[in-house]
Amino acid sequence: MHSKRTTIIFLSVLLLIALGLSFVITRSFLQPFAFAIILAVVFYPVHERLLRWNKQRAGSSALLSTLLLVLLFAVPSIIIAVVAANEALSLAHYLSRRTVEEGGFTSLIMTLADRPLRYVGHWFDLSKYDFRAIISSNAQKASVWLVGFGANLLGGVARFVTDALITFVVLFFLLRDGAQLAYRAGGLLPLSPEQVARLYENISDTIIANVYGMASVGVVQGVMTGIAMRIVGMQSSLLLGLAAGFASIIPVVGAALIWVPVGIYLLATASLWKGLFLLLWGTLLVSSIDNVVRPWVVGGRIELHPLVLVFFIFGGVQAFGFLGLFIGPVVASVLAALFDMLREETKHPTAAPVA
C-alpha cells in the first residue's frame, strides 16, 4: 500500500510532464489563444447585455457575440485591403509606365535619385561613385528579394487567416464558458474569493486599459499623419492616415511604416522640403506621441506610475513581440496587486479558525 505522500509526488511529476507536453503541442496556437482572451475580456460587457437580451441562452448568445466581432473586424479589414490593393495596382502601373519612358529600371532609379544626389553633391564629392553601375549590379538582387518578399507575404496572409479562425473559435468557447472556467481556476488558488476577484479585476482592467491606449494612439497617429499628408499635397491623405492608424499597433515600426516611404518618395520625386517636413513631422510628433498617450490612458485606469508602464510595455514588446503590449502591463498590474495583498496579509494575518 503506497503512502499518500508518494501518490502526491507521483501525480505531481505526471502533471509536470503532461504540462510540458501540452506546451509543446499547443505553443503554435498560444498567440491566437491569447488574442481570444483579450477579445473576450474587452467585449464581455457587450456579451453580457446580449446574454440578457437573449434570455440567458449561453450558446446562441456566444455565437451572436462572436459573429458580431467577426463583422466588426472583417468588414473594415476587407475594405482597407481592397483600397490598398487598388492603390498598389495604380502605383505598379505608374512605375511600369515610367520604366518604359525612362528606358529601363536603372534609368528610372537614376531619374528619381537625380535631385537628391545633386542636393547632397553640394556638400560631398560624389564624383568617385558610379551610381548607375551600383544600381545595375543590385537590380537582380532586388528582384530576387522582391520575389522572396512576395512569397513571405502570401505565407503571412495564410497564417493570419488561420490564426484568425482559431481566435474566433476559441473566443466563442470563452464567451460561452469563460466565467465558469475562471471560477474553477480561482478555486484552485490558495486565496480568498475576495483576493481572487481582486486579481481578476486587475488583469481585466489592465487589458481593457491597454486596448483603450492602443485605440487612442492609433487615432492620434492616424489623424496627425493624415494632416501631414494633406499639408504636403499627397493624394489619398485620408487613406494614408487610416493606414497609419492601423499600422500604429505594429511594434517598433508603427506608423513609420507609412510616413517614411512617403517621405522618401517626396525626397526623390517632388519638393525636397516637403519630404524633409514629412520625415521631421513623423519623427518628432507622430512617433513620439506614443510615449505620451499610451502611458497616460493606461496609467489613468490601473493606477500605475507612467514610468513603470513605459518600461513594462517596451520590455514586453522586446520579449514577446506584439503580445508584449498586453503582457507587459498585465504583469506590472499583477505584481502591484500581489505586493498589496502580501502587505495586507503580513500586517493583518488571517485568524486561525476556531476548532
- What's the mean pLDDT when you consider all of the chain? 76
- Other CB atoms closer than 10 Å to residue 59's CB: what's the count? 12
The percent of residues above 70 in pLDDT, for the chain, comes to 72
pTM greater than the 0.75 cutoff: no
* One-letter amino acid for residue 72 of the chain: L
Give 168's pLDDT tier (boundaries 50, 70, 90). confident
Sequence-distant (6+) residues with CB within 8 A of 195 are 341
Poorest-confidence range of 244-253, 300-309, 336-345? 300-309
Residue ranges of domains in the chain:
28-188, 191-349
* One-letter amino acid for residue 130 of the chain: D
Question: Taken in order 26, 29, 31, 35, is the CA torsion positive or negative?
Answer: negative
Reply yes or no on whether the pLDDT at 124 is more than 70. no
Reply yes or no on whether the pLDDT at 307 is more than 70. yes
The percent of residues above 90 in pLDDT, for the chain, comes to 0
pLDDT at 100: 59
Q: Find the mean pLDDT for residues 205-212.
A: 82
Between 205 and 115, name the one with better pLDDT.
205
Give 142's pLDDT tier (boundaries 50, 70, 90). low
Q: Find the mean pLDDT for residues 275-300.
A: 79
C-alpha cell at 347: 500586517
Residue 277: CA count within 13 A, CB half-sphere? 15
Which pLDDT tens digit goes with each residue over 3-36?
A: 777 887 888 888 889 888 888 887 778 888 888 8
Reply yes or no on whether the pLDDT at 74 is more than 50. yes
Nearest to 230, CA basis, from 278, 191, 160, 286: 278
Spatial distance between the Cα atoms of 9 and 100, rounded to a whole number of angstroms:
76
Cα dihedral: 20, 21, 27, 29 (round 10): -130
Distances (CA, A) of 336 to 42, 198, 199, 340: 21, 11, 10, 6
pLDDT at 308: 77
Reply yes or no on whether the pLDDT at 79 is more than 50. yes
Give 343's pLDDT tier (boundaries 50, 70, 90). confident
